[in-house]
Structure 1
Amino acid sequence: MTAPDPIAYLDAAAATTAGQAYKRRFVDALDVLPGHTVVDIGCGPGTDLAALADATGTDGSVIGVDRDPRMLDEARRRLADRPNVVVCPGDAADLPLASGSADRARVDRVLQHVPDPTTSITEIRRVLRPGGLCGMAEPDWHTLAVADEDHETSSGFAEFVAGQVRNATVGRQLVRLCVDAGLRVRSVEPIAVLFRDFGTADQILGLRRNCARAIQAGRLAEARADAWLRRVARGPVVAGFTFYLVTAEK
């Protein structure tokens, strides 16, 4: 099975009950005030820019940064009616912002993919004003669990998925990385992301797709993995992982 379209995947993840809940908590944790300048690093198709624009008001500004031209084009299209939102190309390790220019910064499920999270967090600190806040939300893929009577196959599937992510445990590392970068950690919130229906679990965790990939890679035995997937699909479904939401102050 082919990988899902990135924009469609991000939209689907944001539309889940778990996605909506943690995104509301994320905005609340950032304590965005009217007049603030907020940067969303790895803004994707603009999923969260409107909520940030509402919080900062017409006197503030929201800057969406992403390295993918397709994401930027979609974000510009979606936010075309928001004069206080600017979308621009940039990398998490080299942000197109002046030092000390942002009151708030957020990075959502991006540090798991970057070559060096330390460099990116140091760059976030650079663009923040003194007293500015940053929020980081990242999964810990080594907490992924899919319930089934075949514990070995469940564990093998989870290990395979975690192995596909560059920084699979960055969620649990955020506090240390922030302290090392010279930020003061204000809050740490573990969020349990739980899926109870197969359709959503398959869509977000790629149960069928990743199972097929694991079989092809020789990580799972085909007959046993197929039986595992059929049982999981029948339910009851219990599948999820832990997300970390960390806020820190410059």
Structure 2
Amino acid sequence: MTSSVFETATPDAFVYLDRVAATDLGRSYKKHMLDELGIRPGETVLDLGCGPGTDLGALAEAVTQTGTVIGIDHDRATVDAARDRTAERGNVTVRMGDMHDLPLPDRTADRARTDRVLQHVADPVGALREARRVLRPGGRLVMGEPDWETLTVDHPDSGLSRAYTQYVADEAVHNARIGSQLARLATGAGFAVPLVIPVTPVFRDVRAADGILGLERTARRAIGAGYFTEEAARRWLDHLTDGPFLATVTFYIVVAEA
């Protein structure tokens, strides 16, 4: 079933995050999120689930040297990497912390962001309540999350692609529908939600899509979970490499105000 088109080894998490950020899609939606944050010089901005610091530099430039950026992540290796990357930026601090129990006082920040983090947390509403707690009145939270049930991969046998999407939504991602749920969940956590922006990238190149979606790796896990047979997965992947390719998934940017 293995093809040279597909990446078979799971990439290092840091490599993957940097890879996505470097794509046209990554640059576009991250800029859109930054624009919606509306950061002003001198403000305090939180990057909740900052990872290895991929976006901390852009936030630091937005607040200028008169402002402060605080990155928070729960993983020690990730925090260490983010600290290394921002060591020369005096306006950036990176802390260990759990999004469900942020190590910050009430009303600490003017702006906050989360980027593809809430799809993985144990309690998204709890994390949103914590974000609201640490934002000052009138503060803004900008979130970006996919709805994996909208994932569409074109194939002559649409049932095979539905099985792939069902596996991703049911098994591969903890909060797979979070993108389309964010407005409701944020409202329930006490935010006003003035804006929801759907972004639907269209992938026409199978290698580019595989770099983000991990098509063969995910298909192999779907076999183990009973969503595909070996033969069905082979037919599905063979067409993706041989035929015209198209895949889409809807990503939501949600603006919430405290």
Quickly name the TM-score band, shorter chain normalised.
over 0.9
Matched with 2:186 is 178
Matches of 1:53 and 1:155, distance apart in 2: 42
Question: Which of 240, 244, 253 pairs up with 1:236?
Answer: 244
Deviation at 1:186, TM superposition (A): 1.9
Matches of 2:115 and 2:97, distance apart in 1: 15
Matches of 1:81 and 1:192, distance apart in 2: 36
Question: Which of 214, 224, 230 pairs up with 2:232?
Answer: 224
Matches of 1:237 and 1:99, distance apart in 2: 49
- Say which SS state the counterpart of residue 142 (structure 2) adopts: strand
Report Cα offsets for 1:93-149 as digits up to 9, x if no partner.
011111001000101111111111110000000000011111111110000010110
- Unpaired segments ≥5 residues, structure 1: none
Q: 1:148-187 counterparts in 2 under 5 A?
A: 148-163=155-170, 164-187=172-195
Deviation at 1:2, TM superposition (A): 4.5
Q: 1:38-187 counterparts in 2 under 5 A?
A: 38-163=45-170, 164-187=172-195
- Unpaired segments ≥5 residues, structure 2: 1-7
State the TM-score, normalizing by the size of structure 2: 0.94
Matches of 2:93 and 2:207, distance apart in 1: 35
Q: Identity of paired residues, percent?
A: 51
Letter of the 2:195 partner, please give it. Answer: S
- Say which SS state the counterpart of residue 10 (structure 2) adopts: coil
What CA RMSD, in Å, does the superposition of the two structures yield over aligned residues?
1.0
State the TM-score, normalizing by the size of structure 1: 0.97
Matches of 1:125 and 1:224, distance apart in 2: 46
Matches of 1:202 and 1:234, distance apart in 2: 14
Runs of 4+ with >3 A deviation: none
Letter of the 1:120 partner, please give it. Answer: A
Deviation at 1:182, TM superposition (A): 1.2
Deviation at 1:29, TM superposition (A): 0.4
Letter of the 1:151 partner, please give it. Answer: S
Matched with 1:18 is 25
* Greater displacement, 222-231 / 167-176: 222-231
Deviation at 1:212, TM superposition (A): 1.2
- Say which SS state the counterpart of residue 189 (structure 1) adopts: strand
2:40 maps to 1:33:
yes
Letter of the 1:239 partner, please give it. Answer: A
